[in-house]
Chains A and B, each alone.
Chain A
């Protein structure tokens, strides 16, 4: 029993540090799998080596027994692997569920994957991008988050310039055991709760071309007090206060003339009001339904006639595809979230 625990502890030696609860749970599962596979390996390969040694050919016409099958044995060696595989599956699915459970009060940060940098945008409007150090070398962007606080990342992939093409990236934090692809034209989400302070490496795990292997970033986990201080801009790394993300959204609402058809007070105009829109279940003229989340709002802006809200006319709202920037869409979404 004790030796089993020692084995478990050392099984994760080659894993990166585990800085979240999920990562620690995963280490246990990993240790279980490693131990089961070492035992199976010893049975299979050890057995093979033993047989090869024991039943070496002795004479040119050795006789061998005619053994064509054995139902009991065959049942055993199908059933035991089956049980182990199912245990791995269930355990893995359980941890996965934890990984995908989003806390409602999580600190939300928007993450943009660009060729070949990561950018982070906080709700208070603060944007963190790559820096350049004294030697002219690229310094990866560093996301700052408080310890023991659920964080939700909203990822998307954006273009670097109008001629550029947005491609897939994948946000990978080994110490948190999380990974999520960032897709162009869509939002995906990721959550973690770091329970250790420190500086953690972020990689891009989805091949994205020339700069793929240098597309890195850092996550700095600090105490809650340090985080609050950083938010106030007292620490050196903190940028001066700008417009909040929701303010940027309000500005975009006016700039793109959404204001002409969408009210904020609940009264319908040419289009439905945005008040109470967020998280609400929408019904469409064609009988379909959907919950208003990030991807729904994005789709309503880019492809308004795909789903027409019940009681409203199609072809009234123009598409903004190709005009509006990803940053503006994200800001508008944030603005709509505040219109409770």
Chain B
């Protein structure tokens, strides 16, 4: 087929050809559909949570609410946000952006998708076993209850972890082995840098999660007594293990988003990125420091005071590279030629939301304030501001930015903008009041609350409906583009990165002739 020039969507069609495809672009779309499905699922749980919290008193029984809360967290974290950008956009665009024909190990790539699907099926089966109610954090000893559902969920997370590790390995190898002639590391687009830093985290941190959930399953099945105090184990040890993975995982979720934003901000300002090196290397710095801060989740757990102070100061250090990135994007806008397309709106939305998310992180890294805010709605608001406001805004912006390349069709700008308006406003209406609720002292994971918290919870629930509606509009905009969008030109946005130098949609082999790179990725001159 070499050099046929047929688009990757043509040629073999039919479900089977997709399910066995080794083409990174098709695998990227497989991930897109599956992650979108999980997102719908996780979103329904979110709406149910907010519905229960619309007013005090019980709409659903507490045990049912606790399951909603667990599945919302577990599905969104392990099946949406962690795989989200790397597996969809990374798969599709990492090879294209470095001028490669595919990822280094196409078969492994397909296998990673099957791992994720297996994990998802297992996770859904736990619903048939009575469901899991431990929260996505599986804190011991609550999670050592000999419930088969919990054990199966632990294995599901274990398998999902493998998917993540293998994807990471694949990307690292791709970046090192398959760059086009002239594409030095310092000429790589920042999205590639971000995916690369993320891949390192995935490979180094995820095994710890694997071991942790495996130990949890073993503890449940064989009573070995590592985490269970009744058997002489240490429940706090679980928290150390869990956050040793899950803090870096926060960056697995958000670094790719930062990569997307870097691409978008230069394209739609038609101006070279400010501080390429600072952005590229601050990703690596964040990745490195993020391994040393896990204890900031445990200031009230009874860990020693010296440990608390050490973790607090180290956490502050992660704040600095994050602030640097925000200023770099801002400086990129300066004297640019700014075009307010939907992806740009999402980019600005990201910067707005992420600034709040990042700053409230400082409140939680400061020990004394964290003692008050820990495990309250302040934390819930904070991590939604960074993870959802950050990652989801970037996914949406990236999706609209690259949609013309992926499907070869243009979307309708006004419908797409409408999705932004609802998602952005809805997001702030939902989550900003939760900061105030946290200030007031409302603990998280509450199925019912005191009357004093009612009005803010009502506002929050109404916001959740706006977000839901915004995503429906976005879905409609994408479907409408695929069905009746006008054909996309090769480079509709005037971008400078390599994926825009090939046809939309790209041919199966990406580039008919391997590109030779002679300059950096953002030469807007």
Contacts and interface: CB of A to CB of B under 8 A. Distances in A.
- Are both chains from one complex? yes
Interface in A197-248: 201, 203-214
Contact of B368 (A29, A78, A183, A204): A29
A210 B230 contact: no
B337 interface: yes
A47 interface: yes
A64 to B, nearest CB: 4
B336 to A, nearest CB: 5
B300 A183 contact: no
A67 interface: yes
B335 A55 contact: yes
Interface residues on B, range: 35 or more
Nearest to B372: A177
Contacts of B330: 44, 47-48, 51
Interface in B292-331: 300-302, 305, 308-309, 312-313, 316-317, 319-320, 323-324, 326-327, 330-331
Interface stretch (B155-163, B264-272, B412-420): B264-272
A132 B139 CA distance: 31
Contacts of B301: 181, 183
Contacts of A210: 62-63, 66
A45 interface: yes
A96 B311 CA distance: 13
A36 B88 CA distance: 38
A64 B271 contact: yes
A30 B366 CA distance: 10
A55 B333 CA distance: 8
B190 to A, nearest CB: 13
B37 interface: no
Nearest to B320: A82
B10 to A, nearest CB: 32
Interface in A49-76: 51-52, 55-58, 62-70, 73-74
A109 interface: no
B338 A205 contact: no
Contacts of A85: 316-317, 319-320, 362, 365
A276 interface: no
Main SS class of interface, B: helix
A167 B238 CA distance: 13
A16 interface: yes
A181 B375 CA distance: 11
B440 A174 contact: yes
Contact of A56 (B276, B277, B338): B338
Interface stretch (A119-127, A144-152, A184-192, A280-288): A184-192
Given A29-B368, A89-B312, A210-B66, A168 B139 contact: yes
Q: Which 8 A-B pairs have the closest CB atoms?
A: A174-B441, A92-B366, A62-B337, A185-B229, A95-B368, A213-B446, A64-B271, A51-B333
Interface of B: 62-63, 66, 133, 135, 139, 141-142, 144-145, 229-230, 232, 235-236, 269-272, 274-278, 300-302, 305, 308-309, 312-313, 316-317, 319-320, 323-324, 326-327, 330-331, 333-340, 348, 351-352, 355-356, 359-360, 362-363, 365-372, 374-376, 436, 439-441, 443-450, 524-525
18 contacts: A16-B439, A29-B368, A30-B369, A33-B362, A33-B369, A47-B330, A48-B348, A52-B333, A57-B270, A67-B271, A67-B335, A85-B319, A96-B308, A165-B144, A172-B441, A177-B371, A205-B444, A213-B448
Given A74-B278, A96-B305, 17 more contacts: A14-B436, A26-B369, A44-B351, A47-B330, A52-B333, A55-B338, A63-B337, A68-B272, A85-B317, A85-B320, A88-B362, A100-B305, A165-B144, A172-B443, A186-B229, A212-B447, A303-B232
